[in-house]
Amino acid sequence: MPAPRQVNIAVLGAGGVGSCFLSQLSSLSAKLSQNPSTPTYLSLILLSRSKTMVYNDAFKPINISDWKSIMEKNSKPALPLPDLADFLAMSPEKVVLVDNTSSQDVADHYPMFLRKGISVVTANKKGFAGSYALWQDIFRAASNGTGQGGWIFHESSVGACLPTVSTLKDLVETGDEVRKIEGVFSGTMSFLFNNFMPAGGGGGSFSQEVKKAKDLGYTEPDPRDDLNGMDVARKLTILGRLVGLEIESPTSFPVQSLIPTALENVKDPNEFMAKLGGYDGEMEKLKKEAASEGKVLRYVGSVDVEKKQCRVGLEKFDSSHPISALKGSDNIFSFYTKRYGESPLVIQGAGAGGDVTAMGVTGDLIKVLRLLPQRQ
């Protein structure tokens, strides 16, 4: 019987996704320690929040269920990232770094962590939707790229726990040809257009629906951070790169912003919301145009792989199209491939939320645990 395994876990970020993850880690840790054949012991050995960190030089475990009060009592100033990488590399056990932040700075250091043998799991889009040079650097370092370092998984960087990243990777690795990717990749945009123009008719003015989405917490504090389309563009960048396109950045292809030009530079989000109604005419015109063709408007991302064209913006869909039938704030991803032919492989469901995002990260952690060599 193999000896029990010990794996050390370092968690960056303890906000919405981070706190859900810590709760899932606590259950997972209890479950894995009970595995009758090869018990695995997970130790939380470092936890960071904003500019503070809890850790100790002996890699002694932090009681996960008590993390909040421990952070309050025992925090030290956060280590700079290169020092953090050096510190984790000294661990006598394998280390998995769980990045629950949305920090570009952390993402920029993934290659450094990976090269030191530290595996990374994350929902953070920044490492995969930033510059193409960073994407290359990450997968040149990782064992599931062409490198020799740690493993890296990022299922939740697109559509939370919906199996989008892993499915696309499987299609490519098994030799299928992905021809087109299309879908609604933003819960906010989904909710907004499902209400602005439901397939059955109806819906309020565009500014009213933006206000409704904001009041219900479906938008960022400044709704322009959703309406500019960059969140969708980042996800599309990741999906496109997964199928082999060398997309330079999320701003290197056309992204239609829904922010009226005149309101782009308004400083106060409240002022923006107050003035948005004055620009409802343009969206109303598009809505009428679509309705006259028996179609509905949806905000979609698409990749035409053969033509190497990415696009994010408004499109019209027949009311019988699955994209038109989307409900609530659900995401939908359609993968058109050579082997699937005319009828795409479709994945649909909630693409945001603390628990389902953390679940993707926890799933990735389980994958890494399986891949780390067992002690003999």
- The pairing of strands 178-184 and 345-350 is unpaired
Minimum CB distance to a second copy smaller for 127 or for 360: 360
Answer yes or no whether residue 201 interacts with a second copy by CB under 8 A.
no
Which x/- pattern, by CB under 8 A, does the window 31-70 give for a second copy?
x---xxxx--------------------------------
Contact region with a second copy (CB under 8 A), list: 72-80, 89-97, 168-176, 248-256: 168-176
Q: Return the exposure string of 113-124: e unless at least 16 CB atoms fall within 10 Å of the residue's CB, then b.
A: bbbbbbbbbbbb
Active site residue 287: no
- Where would I find the beta strands (DSSP E) of the chain? 5-12, 40-49, 52-55, 76-77, 94-99, 119-122, 152-153, 178-184, 295-304, 309-318, 330-337, 345-350
Please, are residues 128 and 154 in contact by the beta-carbon 8 Å criterion?
A: yes
The structure tokens 């960056």 sit at 12
Please, are residues 25 and 44 in contact by the beta-carbon 8 Å criterion?
A: yes
Answer yes or no whether residue 152 interacts with a second copy by CB under 8 A.
no
Out of 33, 146, 251, 252, name the contact with a second copy by CB under 8 A. Answer: 146
What does the alpha-carbon distance between residue 305 and residue 293 come to, in Å, rounded to a whole number?
28
The answer to the question of whether 229 is labelled as a binding residue is no
Out of 68, 285, 339, 375, name the contact with a second copy by CB under 8 A. Answer: 339
Least CB distance to a second copy at residue 303 (A) = 18
What does the alpha-carbon distance between residue 66 and residue 169 come to, in Å, rounded to a whole number?
37
Question: Among the options 126, 211, 214, 235, which is catalytic?
Answer: 235
Contact region with a second copy (CB under 8 A), list: 97-105, 157-165, 224-232, 260-268: 157-165
Answer yes or no whether residue 225 interacts with a second copy by CB under 8 A.
no
CB atoms within 10 A of CB 296: 27
If DSSP codes are grouped into helix, strand and coil, which group holds residue 178?
strand
Out of 173, 201, 261, 265, name the contact with a second copy by CB under 8 A. Answer: 173
Which x/- pattern, by CB under 8 A, does the window 292-331 give for a second copy?
----------------------------x-x--x-xx-x-
Minimum CB distance to a second copy smaller for 232 or for 359: 359
What does the alpha-carbon distance between residue 237 and residue 247 come to, in Å, rounded to a whole number?
6
Out of 28, 88, 243, 290, name the contact with a second copy by CB under 8 A. Answer: 28
Beta pairing partners, 310: 303
Answer yes or no whether residue 375 interacts with a second copy by CB under 8 A.
no
Q: How many residues form the binding site for a second copy (CB under 8 A)?
A: 55
Cα end-to-end distance, the chain, whole Å: 9
CB atoms within 10 A of CB 37: 6
Please, are residues 291 and 284 in contact by the beta-carbon 8 Å criterion?
A: no
Please, are residues 151 and 371 in contact by the beta-carbon 8 Å criterion?
A: yes
User: Any idea which residues carry the catalytic annotation?
Assistant: 235
Q: Which residues bind a second copy (CB under 8 A)?
A: 1-2, 24, 27-28, 31, 35-38, 143-144, 146-148, 161-163, 166-167, 170-171, 173-176, 320, 322, 325, 327-328, 330, 339-350, 353, 355-356, 359, 362-363, 366, 370-371, 373-374
Residue numbers belonging to the annotated binding site for NADPH? 101, 125
